């Protein structure tokens, strides 16, 4: 500790030194001192929870050209490099000691080798720059859910983003004293070309689960650098597994039922599958759009939003489909746009915004014009398909008043959804918790989007929409979810939703607005207000209940023909899905719980029995009432 203190005294101003020493935590001091020595930072700024410190970070982002001021007060835009536009799974790895094994599905490497490699890339990476030492809290402060975090970065864009996305944590660190129980993140954007990371071929995102530390270098894209987002989720999943709670890739929202009733739902969707827009449906309330922690309290599952802001995909956000988000993006307030198109007046434009796009401007590729080809020979779209916005949930008019409740909110239902063109109906309730976790969550597939690097439109297995972030063996993760209902008096109902079902002509059978009806039907089910029809894999709505919801909530006539086309149950596709998913478990997941195969077998029996009676496709009008 003595050596760390001496180095900190030498490198920090008196004010910054006093700020850091006010947090009486030896592990924290050693981490900061090591980061300074490793990266060679010229100066260090220690951020507290004050508005003045947050304003300093915002100003620094503009001064360094990592953000550009836009035409609306408080709005800025950030550009990532051309080849740094998504989470890079290939170079995101767990560092494991000899003898540790997470299974073949998770990307890992030797801890000693990986630590040496990433530290060599971080060596002197902040020379001539200012290091930011920032403190945040995952989950509400002063709560059983709280996890203190320290983020070190040389990117004011990353720091600015985190001040929007996470609750301030300096005072939380003051309260934990010398406790070693906190997460650590060290990031450097590396050598810059213009204002973007130059050496993306040397991009590394390495996660040390034993030390609760994440290293990230030579990248600026938020999913690779904003430590408290999906990187901290990986740390939290392992921590939760050890301590008996759950960390999930889920939104939390409140659905309004009859009277003044609010029922809380958590939902897991892969990127660009309607997750954020579901979390803030018109007329409903939002607690969070991305990551949730769950704990059991007095026989009830309770959940919180880990974050206080949103880092959402902006493509297709428009006044018709997402009026609440659109309003927040077009009024004064603190918003960071990333990788959109800027016109000559510094106004942002994005794909699917509902108005004609300019034919030229500035985007992540530099000066842009319609038809431009990038360095890889591909046509550059006006705005990147994975372009984002970052804003405070408190700037949304439908923020739930219990968003910061330290006790969390009771989870009434769990929803799993993805891009599925031919199998799942728009909404279905599982028969029970076990079938919900296995046939909905553990069987989740989705057709890929631009949110991750690689090909689009490929059907991909994505266990509970959390596969990219798991830090424990897959089978153990499934078993943890199954066991979490133990001791819960009324476990949440589990639903699947599918906003992307298509007909034989490849035309969508759902309007994006329809999701409001699917969620409100689930709210009625949770509270026992409506009955349903039995499919081989769950319970679907009756026509009359949906027609009433469409009329009352959307002002739309919902025909029986639409109902039949949307809710016809497709047996061959469901059987094929079970075959695909089971093959993955048998070949790649050595610790798969036996109950998964048993549940699959029982579902197959029901599917085959129904096929003998009804044929390949079952009209909902032929299904029995529950």
Residues with a known catalytic role: 273
Instruction: Give 258-295 as a DSSP string.
Output: STT-EEEEEEE--TTSSHHHHHT-TTSEEEESS-EEEE
Q: Which of 534, 526, 532 is nearest to 544 (CA)?
A: 532
**582, HSE (Cβ side, Cα atoms, 13 Å):** 17
Q: Which of 184, 196, 205 is nearest to 157 (CA)?
A: 196
Q: What is the DSSP letter of 105?
A: T
Instruction: Give 207-221 as a DSSP string.
Output: EETTTTEEEEES---
**C-alpha separations of 156 from 59, 163, 532, 577 in Å:** 9, 10, 52, 45
379 phi, psi to nearest 5 deg: -65, 135
Instruction: Report the largest interatomic distance among the alpha carbons of the chain, rounded to a whole angstrom.
Output: 80
Neighbours of 173 (CB within 10 A): 24
Quote the CA–CA distance of 514 and 277 in Å, as a whole number. 12
Q: Which of 569, 352, 576 is nearest to 459 (CA)?
A: 576
Class of residue 612 by CB neighbours under 10 A (exposed 0-12, middle 13-18, buried 19+): exposed
Q: Which of 276, 275, 264 is nearest to 301 (CA)?
A: 264
Instruction: Give 158-173 as a DSSP string.
Output: HHHHHHHHSEE-HHHH
Alpha-helix residue ranges (DSSP H) falling in 22-110: 26-39, 51-63
Q: Which of 469, 462, 494 is nearest to 238 (CA)?
A: 469
Q: Are 258 and 247 in contact (CB under 8 A)?
A: no
Q: What share of the chain is helix, strand, coil (3-state, %, to 5)?
A: 35, 25, 40
Locate 323 and state its tokens.
């009026």
- How many residues are listed for the chain in this entry? 626
Q: Are 263 and 527 in contact (CB under 8 A)?
A: yes
Class of residue 378 by CB neighbours under 10 A (exposed 0-12, middle 13-18, buried 19+): exposed
Q: Where are the beta strands (DSSP E) in 326-453?
A: 335-338, 341-342, 348-349, 360-363, 366-369, 388-392, 409-410, 413-417, 427-429, 445-447
Q: Are 411 and 301 in contact (CB under 8 A)?
A: yes
Q: Where are the beta strands (DSSP E) in 154-291?
A: 167-168, 183-188, 192-193, 196-197, 204-208, 213-217, 246-248, 251-256, 262-268, 285-288
Locate 155 and state its tokens.
């990117």
Q: Which of 282, 228, 229, 231 is nearest to 254 (CA)?
A: 282
In the block, residue with structure tokens 């349903």: 532
């Amino acid at each position: 500790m003595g050596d760390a203190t001496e180095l900190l005294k030498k490198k920090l101003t008196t004010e910054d030194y006093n700020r850091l020493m006010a947090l009486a935590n030896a592990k924290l001091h050693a981490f900061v001192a090591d980061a300074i020595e490793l990266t060679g930072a010229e100066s260090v700024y220690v951020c507290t929870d004050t508005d003045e410190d947050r304003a300093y970070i915002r100003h620094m982002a503009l001064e360094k050209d990592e953000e550009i001021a836009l035409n609306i007060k408080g709005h800025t835009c950030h550009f990532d490099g051309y080849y740094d536009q998504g989470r890079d799974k290939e170079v995101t790895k767990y560092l494991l000691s000899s003898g540790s094994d997470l299974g073949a599905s998770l990307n890992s490497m030797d801890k000693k080798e990986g630590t040496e490699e990433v530290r060599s890339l971080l060596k002197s990476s902040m020379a001539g720059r200012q290091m930011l030492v920032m403190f945040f809290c995952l989950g509400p402060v002063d709560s059983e859910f709280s996890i203190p975090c320290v983020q070190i970065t040389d990117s004011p864009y990353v720091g600015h983003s985190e001040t929007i996305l996470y609750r301030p944590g300096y005072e939380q660190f003051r309260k934990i004293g010398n406790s070693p129980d906190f997460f650590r993140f060290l990031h450097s954007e590396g050598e810059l070309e213009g204002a973007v990371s130059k050496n993306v071929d040397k991009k590394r995102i390495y996660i040390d689960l034993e030390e609760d530390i994440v290293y990230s270098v030579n990248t600026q894209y938020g999913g690779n650098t904003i430590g408290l987002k999906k990187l901290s989720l990986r740390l939290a999943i392992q921590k939760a597994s050890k301590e008996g709670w759950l960390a999930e890739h889920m939104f939390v929202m409140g659905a309004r039922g009859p009277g003044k009733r609010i029922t809380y739902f958590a939902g897991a969707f892969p990127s660009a599958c309607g997750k954020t827009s579901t979390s803030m449906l018109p007329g409903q309330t939002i607690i969070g759009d991305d990551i949730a922690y769950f704990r059991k309290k007095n026989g009830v599952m309770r959940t919180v939003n880990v974050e206080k802001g949103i880092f959402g995909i902006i493509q297709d956000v428009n006044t018709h489909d997402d009026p609440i988000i659109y309003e927040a993006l077009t009024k004064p307030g603190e918003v960071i746009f990333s990788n959109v198109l800027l016109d000559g007046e510094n106004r942002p434009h994005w794909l699917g915004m509902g108005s004609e796009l300019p034919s030229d401007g500035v985007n992540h590729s530099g000066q842009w014009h319609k038809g431009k080809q990038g360095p890889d020979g591909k046509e550059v779209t006006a705005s990147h398909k994975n372009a984002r916005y970052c804003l405070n949930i408190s700037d949304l008019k439908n923020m739930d008043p219990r968003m910061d409740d330290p006790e969390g909110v009771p989870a009434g239902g769990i929803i799993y959804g993805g891009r599925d063109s031919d199998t799942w109906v728009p909404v279905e309730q599982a028969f029970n918790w076990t079938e919900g976790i296995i046939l909905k969550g553990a069987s989740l597939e989705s057709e890929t989007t631009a949110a991750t690097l690689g090909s689009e439109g490929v059907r991909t297995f994505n266990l509970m929409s959390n596969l990219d972030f798991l830090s424990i063996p897959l089978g153990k993760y499934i078993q943890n979810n199954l066991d979490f209902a133990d001791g819960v008096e009324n476990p949440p109902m589990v639903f699947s939703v599918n906003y992307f079902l298509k007909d034989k002509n490849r035309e969508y059978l759902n309007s994006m607005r329809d999701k409001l009806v699917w969620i409100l039907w689930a709210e009625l089910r949770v509270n026992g207000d409506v009955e349903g029809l039995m499919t081989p894999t769950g319970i679907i709505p009756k026509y009359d209940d949906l027609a009433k919801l469409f009329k009352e909530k959307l002002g739309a006539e919902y025909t029986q023909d639409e109902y039949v086309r949307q809710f016809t149950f497709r047996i061959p596709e469901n059987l094929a899905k079970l075959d695909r998913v089971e093959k993955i478990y048998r070949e790649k997941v050595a610790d798969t719980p036996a109950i998964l195969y048993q549940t699959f077998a029982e579902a197959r029996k029901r599917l085959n029995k129904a096929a003998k009676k009804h044929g390949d496709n079952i009209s909902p009008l032929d299904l029995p009432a529950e």
